[in-house]
Structure formats: structure tokens, C-alpha cells
Chain A
Amino acid sequence: MTVRRFMKTRVISIQQDMTIGNAAALMREHHIGTLPVVDAGQKLVGMLRLENLLALVMPDFVHLVDHFEFAHNFGSLEYTKPDTTTLAHSVKEFMEQPISVQVDSGVLRAAALLHLRDLRDLPVVDAENTLVGLVSHVDLGVALMSDWDLSELASDTSP
């Protein structure tokens, strides 16, 4: 069972010289949380996650206190927006080192990698590091469950 069979092949990606604003627009338009960053030759050079953009509006104290459940209301912070100069920064400045798998990687290995790095999606590349697909944690999880024997259980629980 390799990721090739379960990956999405129509991947929304972004060039590294685009802006943070462009990236946010792509995420909003396609309702996605991970944007692989590629160069002109479609080679994978980075990864931009929803979390990287949300960090722009996250209050400072979130990193400093161990819990804030007693604050039921963040007040005016709820309406924090990044300003236009921040949104004009290039993707290159905000992207992370990419974590990817090869198309012929096993599904369980890919799922373990996601788990280890606490990620939601994994870009899939070929031997030349060209972006060829993307697998989400749901894709991988469902793939792993695809050959579980659930027939008996299903008949038991059906009303």
C-alpha cells in the first residue's frame, strides 16, 4: 500500500515569491490548510501551513501562559487583523522547511511521519523532488482502515 494510490493529484501550490496575502486568499478560496511552496520548475522548496498565517493574529500570551481558560473573552483581540504591510511579505519569509514523502512510500510510514511532526497534510514528491500530490491525515487514516475487516461488526450494529 503506497501513498500513490491515495494521494490527491490536483494540488493547489504557491510560488515562493508570492505574498502572504496571496497565500491567505488561496487557502480561503479552496478551504485548505497546507500550501506546498514550489519553484518555477515545480520542485518542492517549502511548506506554508494555516498555523504560520494564524501566528500573525495570535496574542503574545498564548505562548507564555500554560492556560487561559479563565479568560472567557479575549475582548478586542478577537478582531485582530494583520495589516497590509504584513500581508505584503513574501511567502519565502514565512514558509517552513518542507516535510514530504516519495510517491512509493508506504501509507503507514507516511501516517507515522504526520503523527511525529504533528502535521495535517504531507506533500508527495517524485524522485526529482517535483511536487506530484498531497495526502491529508484523513486520506492516510482512511487508507489504513481500507482493508480492515468490518463486515461482521457492521451487520451486528445495524438496526
Chain B
Amino acid sequence: MTIQPILATVIFLVSLALILTDKLNRTIAATGGAVLMVVVGLLFGFYTEEQAIGTLDANTLGLLLGMMILVALLEPTGFFQYLAVWVARTSKGRPVRLLVMLGAVTSVVSMFLDNVTTVVLIAPVTILICEILGLNPQPFLISEALLSDTAGVATLVGDPPNVLIASAANLSFLDFITHSLPIVVVVWLVALLLIRVLFRRELAIVPENSAAILEFNPDEVLKDRKTAVKVLVVIGVAVIAFLFEELLHIRPALIALAAAATGLILVQPDIKTTLNRIEWDVLLFFGALFIMVGGMEHAGVMRGLSSLITEGGSLPPMVLGLVLLWVVAISSAFIDNIPITIALIPVVLDLAAAGINPNPLWWALAFGAGFGGNGTIIGSTANVVIVSLSERTRHPITASTWNKRGLPVMLATCATASVLYILFFPWLSR
């Protein structure tokens, strides 16, 4: 074995370790790693600047940027809070109904928009609703994180790993609707049922003050109805356009950026304020990871990995898919699922080149990356946000709370997904 693959792997693993141990912010660690990868690549002759630039997947970055701009336009209108308040009033303050409805609304929104933003904006209102009702907000907050993460797997734009997978595998929005959505619906229902059982004691409490909830006026929450309607119409048109992307021969990034541009023209916000809401750190993180993983690919690391898989056992394709699903799920519970996905995409592409049908593997990767994050307090950004918000209340969510409530949900969702994966394997292979 030559030195290049070892050097490239070490750079990647050290950056990952720095992120994992909280020594460095993930974007800073990845940016440092990316630059180091290019410098070392130039010195040892396995990576050029042109190759590094070539790894930046414009389709992924454009789609993410477009969707982020739309969310940035919608955020200040109060639309997200409006949904939570409307749900609270409709539920009449009954705990189970409130949990199901809050979970459902958060899930539907995060199928199309960034689930971290959704959770960031809905969770504080959830705490308000629970406090007025005299309920412990924990079950509601935890279920919002778990259900929105689960639902995000359903669509191409629901979750960053899906965007990456779709771009690499040439999967369309419609492919996700026909392959991922049906499975996610079942998995989501299983997650909801399990949450209902795990929190049965907290949800049995009859709130003392449901009358206060009935007096809520959602219209007072929606600060800018006009803008909200404009942006929602634009998002709606974009989703319809996503469905026809194959027919129109365009990629989702163009649709998202076109929608963002239309939104900007219609709303004409203060552009600096709007751009401040964009998660530039996430985009930079993606770019840096593309460059780092590209370096490993050019150094021959991925080829080594995939030949290890093909030579190792010649596993039947279904078993290979299930192994991938669980390996990705378990690693996603502890590490960010974005670097895992970016690192595994070239491996799957190499396996495809070696003659293995990659289609079922793409779905295994998507399910593993999406459902695995539910397992721990740090498994997904939504979990981290929920936990840090809860720390400012009288009922902080601890790692042990999560292990009792989130981990079983992660295991149940992955198990359900595995069963459905086996049942629908022929369909997923198409």
C-alpha cells in the first residue's frame, strides 16, 4: 500500500475526531482539514486544485442555499409560531392530541423545509403552551425532534443526506415520493406509537388550565401575513416543479434557486438581514467535506474500501443493504450524518462500478442516516437544539432521559425500516 491513501485517511479521521470530541467547531475543523488535504495532495501528488474545486457539488450546495433563502424569508413572518399556536388551540389542550398534532405539523413542515429551523421556532412556543397548561414540556419537545428527523427522510429536500444521495445517484424528487415516503409513513407511525407508550405517565396528566389555550389567537402570532402567503405560494410552486424535474430536464438546485430568487423579488426584504439568517456555516461545512472526501477518493481510499466489501464476503445484495443501513444508523447516532453520507457516497459509486446494483444501497444509506440520528442527544442538530432549549427550563432533558426515550425510538424505527426494506427490496432495487 502506498503512503497517499494513509495520509488522506489520517487527515479525514483527525478532522472527524476533533468534531466528535468537541475540540473544534465542525465547520472550522472541516475547513482546516480541507485545506490540509489539498496541500498534502499537491505535495504527494494525489490531488490537484482543479480536482478539489471539481468535487464541490453545485447541485447540493445550490439546492441547500435556495431552500435556506426561502426559510429565511418565511422565518420573520411568524408562520412557524402560528402553526404551533393554531395546533394548541385546536387540540383544546388535551395532552395526547397536542403531542400528535405538534409532531405531525413539525413533521410535515420539515419534509419541505429545514427541520432545525422548524424546531428552533416551534420549540419555544411549545414550552409556552406546556407551561400555561401546567404540563412537563419534555415529551412534546423530544417528540418534535424525533418525528421531524424521521419525517425528513421522506423527501429529497427534507434532509441534507437525501440531497447528497439524490445528487450522486441521480434520484429525483419523485423517486423519493415513490420509494422513501411510503416507508417513512409507516416508520413515523411506529415512532409516534412508541413515543405515546414511553411517555404514557406524562401524557396521562389532565391539564388544569385548558381554558387559557382556547383564548389563544393565532392571528396575533402571524406578524406578516402577506409575506407568509407569498413565500408559501413560492414554496408550493417549487414543490410542484420538483415533481416534474425529470420531465423538464432540470435539476432541483435550479428550481430551489429560482424559487429563492422569485421570493426575494416578491418580498424585497432587507437583504443583509435575510442573508444573516442563512446557515453559512452549514454550506461551508459541506464544501469542506466535499474537498476532504474528494481527496480521499483521489488517493484511492474509497476504491480500497469498496474492493474490501466486494472481495470480503460477496454478501447477497439485501444483506449488504441491511448491514449498510445499521452501520450508518449506529454511526449517525454519534457522528454527524453529513460526513458519513459524503464519505460513503463514493464507496457506493465504486460498488456500482464493480457491478453491484446501487439503488437499494442508496435507500439503505438514506434510512440509516435519517433514523440513526434519533438515538442520542447529539445524534442530530434538532436534538441538540431541543436539549439546549430545555436546559433553560425547569425540566432539562439529560442524556439519560434521551437514552430511555430517544434510543428505543431509534431502534424501533431502524427495525421497522429493515423489515420494510426486506419486504420491498425488489421495488427499492428499481
Question: Which positions in A face B, CB cutoff 8 Å?
Answer: 59-61, 63-65, 68-77
Contact = CB atoms under 8 A, between A and B. Distances in A.
Nearest to A63: B392
A76 B220 contact: no
Interface string B66-85: 00000000000000010001
Contacts of B211: 73, 75
B392 A64 contact: yes
B208 A75 contact: yes
A146 B117 CA distance: 53
B128 A61 contact: yes
A72 B217 CA distance: 8
Nearest to A61: B128
Given A64-B389, A70-B216, A70-B221, A77 B85 contact: no
A39 B151 CA distance: 59
A75 B125 contact: no
Interface residues of B, number: 25
Contact of B128 (A68, A72, A76): A68
Main secondary structure of the interface of B (DSSP, over half): helix
B212 interface: yes
B220 to A, nearest CB: 4
B324 interface: no
A71 B132 contact: yes
Given A71-B216, A76-B208, A59 B131 contact: yes
Given A60-B393, A64-B392, A75 B134 contact: yes
Counting chain A CB atoms within 10 Å of each CB, which of B85, B212, B215, B393 scores highest?
B212
B35 to A, nearest CB: 38
Interface in B206-240: 208-209, 211-213, 215-218, 220-221
B132 A65 contact: no
Given A61-B127, A65-B124, A73 B215 contact: yes
A60 B127 contact: yes
B88 to A, nearest CB: 9
A122 B213 CA distance: 41
A71 B133 contact: no
B218 A75 contact: no
A95 B239 CA distance: 55
Nearest to B133: A75
Contacts of A61: 124-125, 127-128, 131
Interface string B127-139: 1100111100000
Nearest to A59: B131
30 contacts: A59-B132, A60-B127, A60-B394, A61-B124, A61-B127, A61-B128, A61-B131, A64-B127, A64-B128, A64-B389, A64-B392, A65-B81, A65-B124, A65-B125, A65-B127, A65-B128, A69-B220, A70-B217, A71-B132, A71-B215, A72-B216, A73-B132, A73-B212, A73-B215, A74-B132, A75-B132, A75-B133, A75-B211, A75-B212, A76-B208
A61 B131 CA distance: 8
Given A61-B131, A72-B216, A75-B133, 5 more contacts: A64-B392, A71-B215, A73-B132, A74-B212, A75-B208
Contacts of A68: 128
Contacts of B128: 59, 61, 64-65, 68, 71
Contacts of A59: 128, 131-132
A65 B213 CA distance: 17
A67 to B, nearest CB: 8
Nearest to A64: B124
Contacts of A73: 132, 211-212, 215
Interface in B352-406: 389, 392-394
Nearest to A72: B215
A61 B133 CA distance: 13
Contacts of B134: 75-77
Contacts of A65: 81, 124-125, 127-128
Most central of A60, A70, A73, A75 by chain B CB within 10 Å: A70
